[in-house]
């Protein structure tokens, strides 16, 4: 556990030590702030549901920028040689990196808590969807980060890692569009598409099927990442 | 401390190393010598547990680096060739991270970090970002990183490459100071480094071990004859004839140094020192003796012989020529 925390901590502080972390944070806050303001001022909707789904689009663009460096940069600079000759297992390295990125994303989300807090100050909304919605957002972003981490182990180039992750995330996103309908394959596509499972969370519903989907998706991606890292060393 | 047996590594069809075996005793400094692309880095990476071999085993302190990789890695510190460091951290932060990841007990981390920073003379840059350090200081931080958890075994891949001469001397002194407390494997393609620093040498060429021995033993083993170099002002033909007439001399060669001075290389059989006889001869004949020095066969010559480089026997009188030998 200790190497995991050490690596996670290093990754987290590295985001704040590099421009990329601040750029992601600033861009994120600018957009989500606009979404929140626009929903109230332009559409007169005093709830978070729209905000969740709008925000997910920004996450597709921003989260790959958080994960692109995780392993790609270490491979390119060679620091991975020092890391992997330390007494750290592949699994510990992968979990550490993942937790570091997830912690940064959690900070991004925490900074947006001002929006639901504002809503409760000016009105008396149902608070349930806030809690479930944020849990959903954390899991949803968590799947993005897991995809990004996997792709980051496959290349030395951060640009390739970013574009590759963006492409895969868009693909997983669009599956839901293709899958509009009631045929079995359309339902399957719906099921494997990432945003489908966010709807219930946004409505205030924590469905164990959705929880299971996100957690198993993340778990599967992390497992593949560990395998990809090992395969890279064996090459 | 380290036992390597039949180590083989293929990259696709290309064999980087084949059947490499050697032992390193505790407290020893072992030099790993070979031309570029001879397989030094591959061997070190395998011992450091970075990648598994295709065949063969490597034991660090009796622990297999593949079977029980993490346990083996706890006992070693590794400095890769290009000194990769997290540049967005300060020296202190980086070393603390390394100490923490390698399992140094939390209360003693600050003390260990201070100690290695002192040992590697980077204390004055403790709070500078690694990004801003010069090559020499990065190298020291790299060594500090490998030392921070006081490992029994240190693996240093070309630790002096890219440093200026003064830094090279300092790094060598640092490595020598580690002797006894630590076992060190260091690779280099710079020959004098091995002679200065190492107790034993493994010469590797094209992925295979060409020789293993102490540097002096290696030179002695291949030294067939002794050479004396002298500079004399005088008629070269007469000098040549007189030198050839000395007992024990088996060959003399001569080059014109200009201004009536000639340089001679006198070869004698192994164990026959002809220096005094040569000096007496030159002085008695009234010629001007300007220089007389023994030419010992250097490790460089051994190395060139073993690695099949361009050999130019007989005429090679210098010991300081051509430090870089191409693969």
pLDDT in tens, A10-56: 999 999 988 999 999 999 999 999 999 888 888 777 778 888 888 98
Predicted local distance difference test score (pLDDT) of residue B156: 92
Q: Is B131 on the interface with A (CB under 8 A)?
A: no
Predicted local distance difference test score (pLDDT) of residue A47: 78
Contacting residues of B for A3, CB less than 8 Å apart: 101
Contacting residues of B for A78, CB less than 8 Å apart: 80, 82, 84
Please, which residues have CB within 8 angstroms of residue B94's CB and are 6 or more apart in sequence?
B85, B86, B130, B141, B145
Residue closest to A224 by CA, chosen among A68, A74, A94: A94
pLDDT at A234 over 80: no
Angstroms from B61 CA to nearest CA on chain A: 15
Predicted local distance difference test score (pLDDT) of residue B326: 37
Query: In the structure, what pLDDT confidence band is assigned to residue B48 with cuts at 50, 70 and 90?
Result: very high
Which residue do the tokens 């200790």 mark? A2
pLDDT at A230 over 60: yes
Residue closest to B90 by CA, chosen among A174, A131, A14, A6: A14
Closest partner residue to A79 (CB to CB) among B48, B70, B84 is B84
| Phi, psi of A57, deg, nearest 5 | -65, -40
Predicted local distance difference test score (pLDDT) of residue B327: 36
pLDDT at B312 over 80: no
Please, which residues have CB within 8 angstroms of residue A77's CB and are 6 or more apart in sequence?
B84, B87
Q: Please provide the DSSP assignment of A56-119 as one string.
A: HHHHHHHHHHHHTHHHHHHHHHSHHHHHHTSS--HHHHHHHHHHHHHHHHHHHHHHTTHHHHHH
Nearest residue of chain B to residue A233 (CA atoms): B51
Predicted local distance difference test score (pLDDT) of residue B38: 83
Asked if B100's CB is within 8 angstroms of A6's CB, the reply is: yes
Please, which residues have CB within 8 angstroms of residue A49's CB and are 6 or more apart in sequence?
A129, A133, A202, A203
pLDDT at B315 over 50: no
ipTM greater than cut 0.90? no
State how far the Cα of A216 lies from the Cα of A212, in Å rounded to an integer.
6
pLDDT in tens, B263-309: 888 888 766 778 888 888 888 888 888 888 877 666 666 677 777 65
Closest partner residue to B74 (CB to CB) among A80, A87, A235 is A87
> B320 by DSSP, 3-state: which?
coil
Contacting residues of A for B89, CB less than 8 Å apart: 10, 14, 17
Asked if A88's CB is within 8 angstroms of B70's CB, the reply is: yes
pLDDT in tens, B185-196: 999 877 777 878
B62, with CB counted inside 10 A (0-12, 13-18, 19+), is exposed
The proportion of chain A whose per-residue pLDDT surpasses 70, expressed as a percent, equals: 100
pLDDT at B313 over 70: no
pTM of the model: 0.81
Q: Is B287 on the interface with A (CB under 8 A)?
A: no
Stretch A106-123: mean pLDDT, rounded?
A: 90
Contacting residues of B for A6, CB less than 8 Å apart: 97, 100-101
- Paired tokens of B182: 């630590």
Higher pLDDT, B323 or A211: A211
Stretch B62-80: mean pLDDT, rounded?
A: 91
Query: In the structure, what pLDDT confidence band is assigned to residue A61 with cuts at 50, 70 and 90?
Result: very high
Contacting residues of B for A80, CB less than 8 Å apart: 84
The proportion of chain B whose per-residue pLDDT surpasses 70, expressed as a percent, equals: 89
State how far the Cα of B222 lies from the Cα of B85, in Å rounded to an integer.
42
Angstroms from A11 CA to nearest CA on chain B: 11
State how far the Cα of B228 lies from the Cα of B296, in Å rounded to an integer.
8
Closest partner residue to B101 (CB to CB) among A3, A14, A235 is A3
């Amino acid at each position: 556990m200790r190497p995991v925390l050490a690596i996670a901590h290093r990754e987290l502080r590295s985001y704040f030590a590099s421009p990329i972390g601040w750029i992601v944070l600033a861009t994120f806050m600018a957009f989500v702030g606009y979404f929140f303001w626009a929903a109230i001022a332009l559409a007169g909707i005093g709830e978070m549901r729209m905000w969740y789904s709008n925000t997910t689009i920004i996450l597709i663009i921003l989260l790959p920028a958080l994960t692109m460096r995780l392993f790609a940069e270490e491979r390119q600079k060679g620091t991975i040689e020092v890391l992997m000759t330390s007494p750290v297992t592949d699994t510990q390295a992968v979990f550490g990196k993942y937790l570091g990125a997830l912690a940064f994303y959690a900070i991004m989300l925490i900074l947006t808590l001002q929006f639901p807090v504002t809503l409760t100050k000016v009105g008396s909304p149902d608070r349930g969807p806030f809690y479930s919605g944020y849990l959903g957002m954390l899991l949803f972003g968590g799947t993005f980060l897991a995809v990004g981490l996997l792709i980051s182990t496959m290349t030395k180039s951060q640009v390739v890692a970013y574009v590759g992750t963006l492409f895969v995330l868009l693909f997983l996103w669009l599956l839901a569009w293709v899958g509009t309908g009631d045929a079995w394959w359309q339902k399957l596509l719906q099921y494997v598409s990432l945003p489908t499972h966010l709807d219930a969370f946004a409505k205030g519903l924590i469905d164990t099927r959705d929880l299971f989907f996100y957690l198993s998706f993340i778990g599967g991606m992390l497992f593949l990442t560990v395998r990809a890292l090992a395969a890279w060393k064996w090459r | 401390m380290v036992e390597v047996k039949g180590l083989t590594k293929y990259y696709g069809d290309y064999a980087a190393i084949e059947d490499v075996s050697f032992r390193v005793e505790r407290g020893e400094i072992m030099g790993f010598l070979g031309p570029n692309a001879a397989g030094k880095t591959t061997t070190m990476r395998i011992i450091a547990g970075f990648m598994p071999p295709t065949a063969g085993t490597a034991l660090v302190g009796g622990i297999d680096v593949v079977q029980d990789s993490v346990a083996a890695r706890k006992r070693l510190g590794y400095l890769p060739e290009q000194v990769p460091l997290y540049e967005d951290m300060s020296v202190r932060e980086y070393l603390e991270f390394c100490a923490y990841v390698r399992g140094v007990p939390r209360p003693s981390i600050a003390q260990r970090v201070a100690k290695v920073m002192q040992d590697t003379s980077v204390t004055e840059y403790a709070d500078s970002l690694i990004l801003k350090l010069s090559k020499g200081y990065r190298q020291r931080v790299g060594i500090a990183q490998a030392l921070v958890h006081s490992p029994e075994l240190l693996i240093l891949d070309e630790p002096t490459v890219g440093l200026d001469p003064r830094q090279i001397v300092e790094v060598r002194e640092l490595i020598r100071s580690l002797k006894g407390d630590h076992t060190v494997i260091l690779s280099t393609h710079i020959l004098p480094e091995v002679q200065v620093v190492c107790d034993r040498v493994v010469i590797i060429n094209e992925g295979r071990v060409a020789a293993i021995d102490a540097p002096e033993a290696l030179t002695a083993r291949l030294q067939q004859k002794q050479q004396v170099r002298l500079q004399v002002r005088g008629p070269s033909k007469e000098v040549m004839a007189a030198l050839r007439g000395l007992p024990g001399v088996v060959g003399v060669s001569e080059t014109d140094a200009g201004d009536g001075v000639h340089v001679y290389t006198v070869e004698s059989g192994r164990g026959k020192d002809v220096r005094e006889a040569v000096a007496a001869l030159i002085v008695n004949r009234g010629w001007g003796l300007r220089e007389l020095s023994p030419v010992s066969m250097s490790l460089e010559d051994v190395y060139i012989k073993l690695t099949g480089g361009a050999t130019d026997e007989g005429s090679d009188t210098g010991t300081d020529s051509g430090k870089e030998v191409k693969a």
